[in-house]
Amino acid sequence: MIGAAAPIRARRVLPGFTLSLGTTLLYLVLVVLIPVLALILKGAEIGPERFWQIVTSPRTLAAFRITLTAAAIATVFNAVYGVLMAWVLVRYEFPGKRILDALMDVPFALPTAVAGLSLTALFSANGWFGQYLDAAGIQVVYTIWGIVLAMTFTSIPFVVRTVQPVLEDLDTTLEQAAMTLGARPWTIFARVVFPAILPAFLAGSTVAFARSLGEFGAVVFIAGNLPMKTEIASLLAYIRLEEYDYIGAAAIALVLLVFALVLLLVSNLLQIWAARYREVK
Amino acid sequence: MTITITGMRKRFGPTEVLRGIDLTVEKGELVALLGPSGSGKTTLLKIIAGLDWPDMGGLDVDGVNWLNLPAQDRRIGFVFQHYALFPHMKVRDNIAFGLTVRPRSQRPGRGVIAARVDELLHLLQIAHLGDRYPAQLSGGQRQRVALGRALAIEPTVLLLDEPFGALDAAIRRDLRNWLREVHGATGSTSIFVTHDQEEAFELADRVVIMGQGQIEQIGSADQIHDRPATPFVANFMGATVEIPVTMRAGRIEAAGIDATRLERRVLPDGPATLFLRPDDITPIADTQGCWTIETVASTGATLRIALKDGAGNRVETVLPRRAPEAAGLTPGTRTHLRPEAGSVFPGPRPATTPAPAAQAPAKENIR
Ligand SMILES: Nc1ncnc2c1ncn2[C@@H]1O[C@H](COP(=O)(O)OP(=O)(O)O)[C@@H](O)[C@H]1O
Ligand SMILES: [Mg+2]
């Protein structure tokens, strides 16, 4: 830029846009993109027919079905619970609130294997909870409900932590306005509060779902891992790997990857739609 | 709807926000609550709306005790200071909200609601904005939508909290006239809050002056201007000059003050305080006078003159630069002061007169 006409550029907070963008991109490529790419290439090596054969084998299909079903149930539960929890944490003052708030992060902090072990201990037929459930004829451990439980536990914080800040920023005069216009509490929630938290809610639920799809450590302890019954997809991929069946493992992993990507895409489209009123023309 | 408020008290923790409010607003009246920031205006309005509850006192509307009635059942139109439009709804849906949330049995049909919204959009002169989101509107347009939303439920009482506070002067004037018309057309009982005197006096049938949780005076513009009921009101109305005087047989006496233009007052003899507006004081050159001019500043049309007396009291006066009295007023000149109008209250100068909120209304955004 030589000469009098050089445009004056606004100063940026971080020095060197090129450097900072370069670093972050490089990091992204190394840590995220290359593994994903390698997986796709590995999958492409297989060839469509073989690929199709692997992913439609009864055991693989069952694993996908179990994983998706359990993750869906866990996500529905966490979505509802997450909004409720965020509401309680934002709108009420009570003793122990800060402790409860901090507890919300435990599932993030706890090694998933530890979570899996403790849940198994609690819910096994002679565990603290398990003995009563067993008496009532309900079995959790070694069933799909055990998988749901493990997935629920490890993805609890996502919805809470995405919705909470939005709720904190929500202008309470909106709710007051709705009251003066005759809206009852439930209507106010459905028509005023929920639309405001919807984009964050969708984002949180998606991440919770994606996390549940891939959850491994907590699940394998409690699931019993019976093929066709309680075997999740990522475990099956692991088993294939142990059997030196790299192709089988890659095919399963690729399908999981596609699930996750489609999920993210759909969720982002929904979020854009839910936040459409924010963009000012 | 006649609104009767009796003995209303409210505290937030240690602060007494309302300290015994008694007020009756007649059916169809337009009343302004005027007072400095923090005087409890919004709190009073919210209690009337059912968004807050008093610690003590009564709120009676046409014989019904409203304190037993939730906000939803009061059928009031509330216009919030910062509009509180629903950001995710288009203008139409915002206006229709109060109708669409009614229980199914009382809800008008879709066609009826749409027609009502159209009618309001028309009345509000924003027919072309129906399909926009609030984020796409200017402040004045948002204000109209907020009013439209409140009017859609055909409220019997309309409450407005600083309805024009955040708008610029020209739009304020516009909306003011228009609010008057709307009030007249709907026949509702209306109360609006403001800290702008001009707005209060121009719009309202009666103005209620509030100071620190109490009603200081209720009256028309002229009554409040000429006969402030308390030192607070005098000060709030711009009488920021306070001079200690002595009452003797209804006459005001003080060294260096020519009180001949002030009326006699029925006040007991003894010490009193004279409240004057700076532009109601004329300094008269007088070699025997005990006031000395310190500075003279001209704004072109007026002169702002600062004076001091031997005891160290300071007074500021404003007078037209071309007034005959202004000739020869230069720094160092000795004068006496001739108040043209003023109000006097018994007793020495009260310790707790508020800052002159009239000149510099504090911004009202503190929540
Ligand atoms: N929810 C609240 N909690 C605590 N103090 C409050 C609350 N609302 C208002 N106040 C206090 O009450 C006083 C009066 O407030 P407000 O009614 O908003 O006055 P105004 O509308 O006249 O400016 C202020 O001192 C304010 O700080
Ligand atoms: Mg206020």
Q: Given a cut of 60, is residue B363 above it in pLDDT? A: no
Among B227, B254, B283, identify where a domain stops. Answer: B227
- Taking alpha carbons only, the member of B237, B212, B198 closest to residue B342 is B237
Task: Give the DSSP letter of residue B350.
Answer: P
User: Does B285 share its domain with B150?
Assistant: no
pTM comes to 0.82
Q: What is the mean pLDDT of residues B272-286?
A: 90
Is B352 a domain residue?
no
**What total of structural domains would you count in chain B?**
2
**Over the stretch A227-265, which tens digit does the pLDDT of each residue have?**
888 899 999 999 999 999 888 898 998 899 888 889 889
Give the integer Cα–Cα distance in Å for A185 and A188.
5
Is B354 a domain residue?
no
Closest-CA residue, ligand 1 atom 18, reads B42
User: Does B123 share its domain with B258?
Assistant: no
Closest-CA residue, ligand 1 atom 16, reads B40
Query: Predicted ipTM?
Result: 0.82
User: Does B278 share its domain with B223?
Assistant: no
Q: How much is the pLDDT for A25?
A: 85
Among B227, B255, B270, identify where a domain stops. Answer: B227
Residue B70: list chain A partners with CB under 8 A.
179
Q: What is the mean pLDDT of residues A111-117?
A: 90
User: Does B128 share its domain with B272?
Assistant: no
Is B351 a domain residue?
no
Is B23 a domain residue?
yes
Q: Given a cut of 70, is residue A5 above it in pLDDT? A: no
Q: Which position has the higher pLDDT, A280 or A140?
A: A140
The CA B47 to ligand 2 mean position distance, Å, reads: 13
Q: What is the CATH number of the domain that holds B142?
A: 3.40.50.300
Q: Residue B296 forms beta bridges with which residues? A: B305
Q: Could you tell me the pLDDT band of residue B256, with boundaries at 50, 70 and 90? A: confident
Q: How much is the pLDDT for B348?
A: 77
Best of B51, B88, B151 to substitute, by most chain A Cβ atoms within 10 angstroms, is B88
Q: Across the A/B interface, how many CB contacts are shorter than 8 Å?
A: 78
User: Does B208 share its domain with B63?
Assistant: yes
Residue A180 and residue B136: Cβ atoms within 8 Å?
no
Is B163 a domain residue?
yes
Q: Given a cut of 70, is residue B124 above it in pLDDT? A: yes
Is B194 a domain residue?
yes
| Least-confidence region, from A233-247, B56-70, B105-119, B178-192 | B178-192
User: Does B17 share its domain with B111?
Assistant: yes
Residue A196: list chain B partners with CB under 8 A.
87-88
Give the integer Cα–Cα distance in Å for B21 and B35.
14
Pairing outcome for strands B157-161 and B189-194? parallel
User: Does B85 share its domain with B218?
Assistant: yes
User: What is each CA distance from B131 to A174, B89, B93, in whole angstroms?
Assistant: 20, 9, 9
Residue A178: list chain B partners with CB under 8 A.
86, 97, 101
**Over the stretch A99-108, which tens digit does the pLDDT of each residue have?**
999 999 999 8
Residue B41's H or E segment, with its range, is helix B41-49
Q: Given a cut of 60, is residue B367 above it in pLDDT? A: no
Residue B153: list chain A partners with CB under 8 A.
181-182
Quick one: how far is CA A157 from the chain centroid?
9
The CA B161 to ligand 2 mean position distance, Å, reads: 7
Fold designation for A49-280: MetI-like fold (1.10.3720)
User: Does B311 share its domain with B285?
Assistant: yes
The per-residue pLDDT of chain B, averaged, comes to: 87
CA atoms within a 13 Å half-sphere pointing along the CA-CB vector of A56: 6
Q: How much is the pLDDT for A7?
A: 65
Specify whether the CB–CB gap between B362 and B36 falls below 8 A: yes
User: Does B141 share its domain with B189?
Assistant: yes
| Least-confidence region, from A170-184, B108-122, B171-185, B203-217 | B171-185
Q: Which position has the higher pLDDT, B161 or B361?
A: B161
Task: Give the DSSP letter of residue B123.
Answer: H
Q: How much is the pLDDT for B358?
A: 39
A11 Cβ contact partners less than 8 Å away, ≥ 6 residues apart: none
User: Does B246 share its domain with B201?
Assistant: no
Q: Given a cut of 60, is residue A126 above it in pLDDT? A: yes
Provide residues of B within 8 Å CB-CB of chain A: 46, 49-51, 70-78, 80, 82, 84-89, 97-98, 101-102, 133-136, 149-150, 153
Percent pLDDT > 90 in chain B is 48
Q: Which position has the higher pLDDT, A4 or B166?
A: B166
| Domain ranges, ordered by start, for chain A | 49-280
Q: How much is the pLDDT for A158?
A: 94
Q: How much is the pLDDT for B304?
A: 92
B148 Cβ contact partners less than 8 Å away, ≥ 6 residues apart: B94, B95, B120, B121, B123, B124, B126
Q: Which domain holds residue B277?
A: 241-341
Q: What is the mean pLDDT of residues A112-138?
A: 87
User: Does B208 share its domain with B261?
Assistant: no
User: Does B61 share its domain with B23?
Assistant: yes
Q: How much is the pLDDT for A4?
A: 55
**Over the stretch B74-113, which tens digit does the pLDDT of each residue have?**
999 999 989 999 999 999 999 999 999 999 898 999 999 9
Give the integer Cα–Cα distance in Å for B63 and B68.
12
